[in-house]
Each structure stands twice: as C-alpha cells, then as structure tokens.
Amino acid sequence: MVYTHHISPLAFLYISITILMSSLWRIIVRTKTKPTTNDLAFSAIIDGSAALITIVFFLFSRHDLTIPTSIYPWIGLAASIALSTVGDYLILVSSKYADIADTSILLPLSNLWVALIATFMLGEHITPHKWIAIGCIVIGSMITVAKGKRFLINKGIIAILIYGIISAVMVNIDKGVSSHFSIFVYTAIAYGTSSLLMMIILGKHRRILLHTEWNNQKWWLVVIGATWSIFSLMILSVYKFSDVSTVIPFMRLFIVIVTGYSLIFLRERDRKWQKIIGSIIVTVGAILLAYVG
C-alpha cells in the first residue's frame, strides 16, 4: 500500500475524533478528578476501563477477529504494551502536576522523535519541509516553558518530556504491527495487559488501593477510559491511510482546544502570551508536517 503525505476525508474524520478525545480526557483529569491516593491505581483502573469498553464496542461492531499466527507481531504488541504501561502513567502524572496548556504544547516535541524513528523503523522519508516544521514545533515549545532566562521545570513537565520519547517509539511500533490484528483485539489486549501489569506492581494491597481510588473518583475513571478507547481505535484506523510522521503531528492540533480552555475557563494565566504564541507556532509546524511534509 502506498501512503501519501496528504490526509484523506475519512482519515481527517478519524483524526478529528482523536483530537476531540485527546482534549476531552485532559480537561476531565484536570477539572473533574480529585487528588489521587495512588497514581498507579488511578492509571490501572482507567486502562482496565478502556479495555472493557473496547470489548463492548467490538460486540456492537461487524468487524472480524483478526489474530496473527506469526510470533513477530505478538513481540511488537508486547513491546508496545510495556511502553504504554509506562506512558499511560506518565501522561496522567503530567496532567495532574503541570498546567494542561504547558503539557499540551510540549507534547508535540515528540514529533521530532516520531519523525526520526519512523525514518529508521518504517523507512519514511523526512523532507526539508518536515525539518522546518519540526523546528517550528521545538521553538514554539521552548517559548512556552521559558521563564525569564530559565525554563520552567516541574514533575509534570519532566513526565511529559519522557512520555514524548516513549510515545514516539510506541506509535512507530503500533503502525508497524497493528495491521496484523483487528484494531479491537489490539486495543483491548494492550489496555487490558497494561492494567494487569499496573495491578501486579501495586503489590499485596492492590485491592484496597484500587477500591479507595474508585471511591475517590467514581465514574469519571470510566469516562476517561472511554475517551482512551475511542482515541486508540481511531488512531489505529487512520494508520491505514497515512504514515505516522504525518498523522501524529496533525493530531497535535488538540493543543489549540486545550490551551484555549485552560486560559479561558481554568484561568491558567501564568505566562499567558507565551502559551498563546507557543501554541500558534506549534500549530503552524503541525500543519506544515501534515500538508507539505
């Protein structure tokens, strides 16, 4: 199959849904959830919810169960699950401990790693236009976190920077091996196994920790899990139409929604103009990557 750098109408619809889901769950984590008693238990319940909701979606769909017989796609899935387990935890930590505008604008830095890794893993070509676009994304991100002559660093920002590298590797693996699976099978196994791994790490007190976290957050954990499930199903679907170095940058346009929401409704006014200017520059870079890369 030949992939192009332009986005088809159906792929655009899928990506638009991922943008909406990506914005929605960040806003919910920041505004609707309470302080966690245990971040790992929080993440485990969300991943478990995402797996169960994916199964429900499959039961109402007409898709076949596609499962590979070769061991290599399974090895790729296992690697993706390991990265996803760490990544899901980091992305929730970042949403809790840093302004959502900052984390949303910094996340596109992962596009640099996505493009480089896609070149080596998937053989995708990086044009001069892509390098210019990536430069815009890096510059816009640095403007956002600059505080005088220093850069703003906290637990949430460190988490999102590490997540960016992990997610870049993960999306390239997903693009490479997910086509061997039904997207429902791939998503349900990934989230279900990730949740199980987190529960194992919680140790012998896992039942108490999970029960406490559920009572603290209630059904918001399921709502977040649903957004994650829909997000994953849509992004895996769009991989059939385009390459990751185009899809992922375009998806980062959710920063416009999240930054606007944080400034208007959450009144996160610290470095307001830096966030606005940074988001504009990052968005220009994302559009360049999506359409002229």
Is residue 258, in this structure, part of any structural domain at all?
yes
pLDDT in tens, 208-263: 999 999 999 989 999 999 999 999 999 888 887 777 766 776 676 676 777 777 77
For 57, the token pair is: 């979606």
Least confident of 62-71, 170-179, 195-204, 283-292: 283-292
Is residue 4, in this structure, part of any structural domain at all?
no
Is residue 61, in this structure, part of any structural domain at all?
yes
Rounded to whole angstroms, the Cα distance separating 231 from 63 reads 18
Rounded to whole angstroms, the Cα distance separating 134 from 132 reads 5
Number of domains composing the chain: 1
Is residue 2, in this structure, part of any structural domain at all?
no
Is residue 1, in this structure, part of any structural domain at all?
no
pLDDT in tens, 8-63: 677 778 888 988 898 888 888 878 888 888 989 999 999 999 999 999 999 988 77
Which range marks the domain in which residue 253 is found? 9-291
What lies within 8 Å, CB to CB, of 140 at 6+ separation is: 105, 108, 277, 278, 279, 280, 281, 282, 283, 284, 285
Is residue 38, in this structure, part of any structural domain at all?
yes
Exposure letters 188-206 (e unless 16+ CB within 10 A, then b): bbbbbbbbbbbbeebeeeb
